[in-house]
């Protein structure tokens, strides 16, 4: 191995005591490849197994905690006990290859496709539609529904523990329900769940509390609890970087294992102010990195890209598209084959890369998502 890449392979101990064998995680990416009932498919298990040999941890695609929280067709479910055995197959496949297995748990809220929901009606903090063409106006959640959803995150965590996962990542990013409660765009409530920024934090904090209570009740050893967030929204009103810095100040006190930023490019500046070019990941790390580990992500294709990101002080990095295109990214870096790391996606490589049919079709159908070549 080239000595300059040694920092990538340093072990890292999370606050819970769980140890990662290196600084790289597989980022959570929807793959549209589970069965209709939410159980994991053989294709999906093979896809994760192929990618779990090198990275320190695999964060799975998001799993819905309630039937009304589905965000995608054929996604993983963690909303009922009958799915535990299926989830165990996924956790085991990841762990057998040497990575920590982390299940991302979420509720889509107003971003759910209505046709996937039991009653065809989306819900959210308030009856405000997302700013996209043809979007449904969600029904404002009642107090009882809010409490049931908070409990569902705890129950999902219990199932993840029973299934053998090493941790869960609470998905508070990408405009889904937890973010919707924090956002002044989607949360116009005037009760204890909305209004001031402190009240808009109440739902995310209650979810964290529910998850951590489940860990205390059911986990036999160190169990990872992470939280993913998007630093800004384009909408007005919408989440600003100032809002997020206040949020992460509070999140840093919740005894979490990490905060995972969801951005397209590690080095990218503000989506709200083009003159602000400071990395959102670095801003969060500078604010709370001494209190809680931060995971950066986004367009880190080569080992040199990763080293440059680590040099900012951010201790952990997640690779998404990079690990789809190059499942052996870590192994090739470790064996001085970094020149052989694939940074484009040949149209003929599906079988070699062990990518499920639905995900491959999606990649091929969305121009610019991946650097596809003939």
Which domains, from first to last, does the chain contain? Answer: 3-373 (3.20.20.70)
pLDDT of residue 275: 97
What's the distance, Cα to Cα, between the start and end of the chain in Å? 31
Do 240 and 272 contact (CB within 8 A), yes or no?
A: yes
Integer CA distances (angstroms), 223 to 44, 81, 135, 157, 177, in order: 24, 20, 38, 10, 24
Q: What is the DSSP letter of 40?
A: P
Q: At what angle do helices 241-251 and 202-218 cross, to 10 degrees?
A: 30
Length of the chain: 374
What 3-state class would DSSP assign to 296?
A: strand
Q: Give the contacts of 6 (CB within 8 A, at least 6 positions apart).
A: none
CA-CA distance, 230 to 372, in Å (whole number)? 27
CA angle 314, 316, 321 (to 5 degrees): 115
Model pLDDT, residue 161: 98
Contact 15, 226 (CB under 8 A): no
Task: Give pLDDT, residue 46.
Answer: 98
Rounded distance, CA 159 to CA 80, Å? 8
Question: What is the mean pLDDT of each successive set of 10 residues along the chain, which is 374 residues long?
Answer: 96 98 98 97 98 98 98 97 98 98 98 97 98 95 98 99 98 98 98 98 98 98 98 97 98 98 98 97 98 98 98 98 98 97 96 98 95 94
From the list 47, 48, 176, 258, the catalytic residue is 176
> DSSP letters of 121-150?
--EESSS---SSTTPPPPEEPPHHHHHHHH
State pTM to two decimals: 0.98
Alpha-helix residue ranges (DSSP H) falling in the chain: 42-51, 84-96, 143-162, 177-182, 197-200, 202-218, 241-251, 280-288, 303-310, 321-325, 329-334, 350-353, 357-365
48 in active site: no
């Amino acid at each position: 191995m080239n000595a300059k890449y040694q920092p990538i392979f340093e072990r890292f101990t999370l606050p819970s005591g769980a140890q990662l064998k290196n600084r790289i995680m597989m980022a959570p990416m929807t793959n549209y490849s589970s069965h209709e009932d939410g159980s994991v498919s053989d294709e999906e298990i093979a896809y994760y197994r192929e990618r779990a040999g090198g990275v320190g941890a695999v964060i799975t695609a998001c799993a819905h905690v309630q039937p009304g929280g589905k965000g995608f067709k054929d996604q993983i479910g963690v909303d009922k006990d009958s799915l535990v055995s299926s989830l165990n197959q996924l956790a085991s496949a990841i762990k057998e290859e040497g990575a920590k297995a982390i299940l991302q748990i979420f509720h889509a809220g107003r971003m759910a496709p209505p046709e996937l929901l039991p009653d065809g009606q989306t819900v959210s903090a308030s009856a405000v539609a997302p700013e996209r063409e043809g979007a449904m106006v969600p029904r404002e959640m009642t107090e009882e529904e809010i409490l049931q959803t908070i409990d569902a995150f705890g129950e999902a965590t219990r199932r993840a523990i029973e299934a053998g996962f090493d941790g869960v990542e609470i998905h508070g990013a990408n405009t889904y329900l937890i973010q919707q409660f924090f956002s002044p765009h989607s949360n116009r409530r005037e009760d204890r769940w909305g209004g001031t920024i402190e009240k808009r934090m109440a739902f995310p904090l209650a979810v964290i509390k529910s998850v951590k209570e489940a860990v205390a009740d059911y986990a036999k050893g160190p169990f990872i609890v992470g939280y993913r967030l998007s630093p800004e929204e384009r909408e007005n009103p919408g989440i600003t970087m100032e809002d997020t810095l206040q949020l992460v100040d509070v999140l840093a006190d919740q005894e979490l294992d990490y905060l995972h930023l969801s951005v397209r490019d590690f080095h990218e500046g503000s989506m709200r102010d083009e003159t602000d070019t400071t990395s959102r990941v670095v801003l969060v790390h500078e604010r709370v990195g001494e209190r809680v580990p931060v995971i950066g992500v986004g367009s880190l294709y080569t080992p040199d890209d990763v080293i440059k990101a680590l040099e900012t002080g951010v201790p952990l990095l997640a690779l998404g598209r990079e690990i789809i295109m190059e499942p052996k990214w870590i192994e090739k870096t470790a064996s001085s084959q970094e020149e052989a790391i694939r940074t484009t996606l040949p149209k003929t490589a599906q079988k070699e890369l062990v990518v499920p049919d639905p995900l491959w079709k999606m990649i091929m159908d969305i121009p610019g998502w991946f650097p596809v070549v003939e």
